[in-house]
Structure 1
Amino acid sequence: MKSDSRLRYFAYGLLGLPLAMSALPVYIQAPMYYTSYLGATLAGTGWVLFLARIVDTVQDPWLGQYIDGLHGARLNLWMMLAALLLALAFFGIWLPPEFVRASGVYLLAWLGVMLIAAYTAHSMLNIAYLAWGARLSEDAGGLLGASALRELMGLLGAVAASVIPGFIMMSGAWGRGGFALYSGAFAAALAVSLAALLWLAPRWNKVAAHAGGWRSAVAAMKSNPGFRRLLLPYFLNAVSVAIPATLALFFINDRLQAPDYAGLFLATYFLATAIGLPLWVAAAKRVGVLRAWRVGMLLAILAFGGTVLLGAGDVLLYGVVCVAAGLALGADLALPPVLLANVIGRFESTAAYYGVWTLLAKLALAISGLALPLLARFDYQPGVSGSAALGWVYAAVPCVFKLIALLLLKTAPASDSLAVLPETSS
């Protein structure tokens, strides 16, 4: 890419940072924060996560269809309103009012409302953002570059979100002041990155909408064999990633008994992902996107499979797992969106495709929320160490989902439309 193109792609990718900063606490840290610090019940929190995510899942295809009809000033206004709602919901998740914190029922209801607001706003931004990126370039190199920059900025946001909330909670300064400052910094990052997208990034390459609207878009997706064959493996793989994300802090605190290392583990994991991201992009150019993704999935299974055997004090071994699994995550982040972008017809409803895509990702997250009431059924309680069930649900179950996804992808012939990107030289 030329220097001017790189700057414009960077302006596009920058929004990935605050989107990740908001997603990580909602999916990983909020369950621990509400159960261990605010006193919500484990099963109640799990059901709230599940129901809120189901609500979020249902709305994504409709948001995708609506976004396809937006352009120019209307698209800009849509994304600015979404950013405002996301900033307010982010503030609300960390800072429930005192009267809410005084009641377990009120606390769970507040969490549900804030989660739905955050999920809705995140979807409003993210679907438009992904659809925008899919139309940045028609060539494989441009799509890989846009995807890699977007995910790289997202990883930087994930690292920040890994360290800062954990530090606030563990230092004892997790009251209103610390999280108010953190929420304000997030709002500022969101505003700057959105401005860069709207005024500096390459323009949205709008295509003509389907005359039949949503029905026509659904019919086009149903008749797309590459898209259909990608959906189930993508969904199962997303479940395999979502379950550990929901349980990571519980595993670190109660299985490893190393809460002081939680921020370091998460930061290591996402830094390893950032390091691995350009390696997976290079591998995809050399051997093909589909094959590179398969290798990444196999690496994740090998890295994560033995985690179920870890126990108290196994800090170094878990650190190795974080590095290896983090490297493998780079393939999950960068490569599937490229596969999707390349099975979408040139004049098809791009945002509608991404609406279904994010629906599956969020359905996977909803299912992962059920891991908490499942653990409660096995008498696990946050803060109580030694639960064998925690290790199995955290590590073994995700590996089963990922293995099935890998086998499903393996059945695709080499000439299948999933293997759409030509091998190119670096």
Structure 2
Amino acid sequence: MSAVPQSSPAPASGWSNAAYGMLGAPLAMAALPLFVQIPAYYASHVGLALAPLGWVLFAARLLDMLQDPLFGHLLDRSAQRQKRWMAAAGVVLAAAFICLWKPPSSPQAAMVWLVAMLVLAYGAHSMLSIAYLSLGSRLPEQGLRAVPWREGAGLAGVILASVVPVGILAADPALIDQRITWYCLFFGAVLALSLLLLLRQPAPPMMAQGERWGASLRALWANRAFRSLLPPYLLNALSAAIPATLALFFIEDQLQERALAGGFLAAYFGAAALGLPLWSALARRVGTIACWRQAMLLSIAGFVGAVLLGPGDRWAFLLVCLATGAALGADLLLPPVLLARVVTQRASVGAAFGILTMLGKLALALAGIALPLLSALDYQPGQGPSSSLPLVYAALPCVLKLAAFVALGRYGRQHAA
């Protein structure tokens, strides 16, 4: 049963918009280490073997993908307690995030610790993110001004998480533990403050419940255009997830530029943010599909260049980061636009975006298998340049991106958009 508001929602103030948007920063600060920095930290600093580490990441990310629909269903069925779920998820996320950076000294115990903390961190982050986006979808129309606050805060969080943890790990080993502690406490404080500001705001009115989950899925499966969009999206997401998982390994071993890792990541995400308005303008001129395919070609060009890099090629790799980062902006912007065009059943839009999110997480899970693959190719972290690392980090994503390019072209010929 949907709740009926007693009066029309008042226009959102600038303060309430900011209070909503600020949570985007700590969510982004947690997401980047969970998916990019933690694997390299446990391989290089804790000493876990590469192959089992990769399978742990695969299993944890697969669980993260599968639990999202359950969390969404739980939040739908207990919407009046959504703020309590958010507060609880925030506490678990802060604790698990801190514990991930404080593993036991024994590699065997550290592996068990990593599994437990990843399950808690992924689960809490997913619960908090789903509830956050659900709350945002119920803001009054004037509250749409809060979305730029959310995206801006998220960008700030990504850049901060790109620079600070990597800088700490590249500094004096004797200072790493103390500085990581201060960074984790800072993250916990930002998360607590953001949640406090958000949860003190009046809850937006509840929306009427749409179709049951099963009916929405059946309607989506009957939509041929929607089904045809999924393969290029998954291939493209996987082509981005593999280099994201291996980025720090490539920077530290292949380029021998550990101290510059934070700057490279910041350039990558900064280029993605700056590219958003440019891709939006290009899509209006040439069409969404043509624009996305051009971005794929830009990404392929960047990764082809990365295959040839070795120690000291810092400026060339900076160009790779800028090119592939700019292409990432199109990957973030254009798939939701295509999805909204092909899914015309209003009651199925939420389920459609849920499936898209699940495919993105499936790509991250599959990317974890890149670590056992590298291990089978005799790559060992911390041993310097390797002939296999550029192949898996850059050449394999090129092949996947090219397959996505072809699949998207076939989609465009069958379903003009």
Q: Could you tell me the TM-score, scaled by structure 1's length?
A: 0.85
Partner in structure 2 of residue 81 of structure 1? 88
Partner in structure 2 of residue 187 of structure 1? 188
Equivalent positions of 1:152-231 (< 5 A) are 152-172=152-172, 174-198=175-199, 203=204, 206-210=207-211, 213-231=212-230
Partner in structure 2 of residue 18 of structure 1? 26
Choose 218-227 or 403-412, whichever is displaced more.
218-227
Choose 295-304 or 231-240, whichever is displaced more.
295-304
Tell me if structure 2 keeps the 8 A contact 1:234–1:405. Answer: yes
Identity of aligned residues (%): 49
Partner in structure 1 of residue 132 of structure 2? 129
Tell me if structure 1 keeps the 8 A contact 2:167–2:261. Answer: no
Structure 2 CA distance for partners of 1:197 and 1:287, relative to 1, 3 Å: farther
Equivalent positions of 1:11-160 (< 5 A) are 11-71=19-79, 73-96=80-103, 100-101=104-105, 103-133=106-136, 150-160=150-160
Equivalent positions of 1:365-376 (< 5 A) are 365-376=364-375
CA distance in 2, matches of 1:340, 1:174: 47
Choose 282-291 or 238-247, whichever is displaced more.
282-291
Say whether residues 1:276 and 2:275 are aligned partners: yes
Tell me if structure 2 keeps the 8 A contact 1:62–1:355. Answer: no
Post-superposition CA distance 1:48-102 (Å, at most 9, x none): 111111222221222233333343x422222222222111111111112xxx22x
CA distance in 1, matches of 2:341, 2:202: 21
Post-superposition CA distance 1:104-157 (Å, at most 9, x none): 111111101111111111111223334455566899xx6xx8776644432321
Post-superposition CA distance 1:236-255 (Å, at most 9, x none): 11111110011111111111
CA distance in 1, matches of 2:295, 2:149: 19
Secondary structure class of the residue paired with 1:252: helix
Q: Which residue identity does 2:120 align to in structure 1?
A: A
CA distance in 2, matches of 1:230, 1:133: 26
Give, in angstroms, the shift of residue 22 of structure 1. 0.8
Give, in angstroms, the shift of residue 257 of structure 1. 1.2
Structure 2 CA distance for partners of 1:183 and 1:117, relative to 1, 3 Å: same
Structure 2 CA distance for partners of 1:205 and 1:281, relative to 1, 3 Å: farther
Give, in angstroms, the shift of residue 343 of structure 1. 4.5
Tell me if structure 2 keeps the 8 A contact 1:13–1:149. Answer: yes
Secondary structure class of the residue paired with 1:348: helix
CA distance in 2, matches of 1:12, 1:286: 33
Tell me if structure 1 keeps the 8 A contact 2:220–2:348. Answer: no
Partner in structure 2 of residue 356 of structure 1? 355
Say whether residues 1:308 and 2:315 are aligned partners: no
Structure 2 CA distance for partners of 1:404 and 1:286, relative to 1, 3 Å: same
CA distance in 2, matches of 1:230, 1:260: 40
Give, in angstroms, the shift of residue 5 of structure 1. 7.8
Structure 2 CA distance for partners of 1:203 and 1:305, relative to 1, 3 Å: farther
Structure 2 CA distance for partners of 1:279 and 1:191, relative to 1, 3 Å: farther
CA distance in 2, matches of 1:136, 1:339: 24
Q: Which residue identity does 1:21 align to in structure 2?
A: M
Q: Which residue identity does 1:234 align to in structure 2?
A: Y
Partner in structure 1 of residue 382 of structure 2? 383
Give, in angstroms, the shift of residue 397 of structure 1. 0.6
Give, in angstroms, the shift of residue 272 of structure 1. 1.6
Tell me if structure 2 keeps the 8 A contact 1:65–1:351. Answer: no
Q: Which residue identity does 1:113 align to in structure 2?
A: A
Any gaps of 5 or more consecutive residues in structure 1?
Answer: 420-426
Structure 2 CA distance for partners of 1:10 and 1:165, relative to 1, 3 Å: same
Give, in angstroms, the shift of residue 187 of structure 1. 2.0
Secondary structure class of the residue paired with 2:411: coil
Q: Which residue identity does 2:91 align to in structure 1?
A: L
Structure 2 CA distance for partners of 1:204 and 1:294, relative to 1, 3 Å: farther
Structure 2 CA distance for partners of 1:7 and 1:277, relative to 1, 3 Å: farther
Give, in angstroms, the shift of residue 220 of structure 1. 2.5
CA distance in 1, matches of 2:339, 2:54: 31
Tell me if structure 1 keeps the 8 A contact 2:217–2:348. Answer: no
CA distance in 2, matches of 1:197, 1:13: 8
Say how many residue pairs are matched: 405
CA distance in 2, matches of 1:92, 1:231: 36
CA distance in 1, matches of 2:125, 2:277: 26
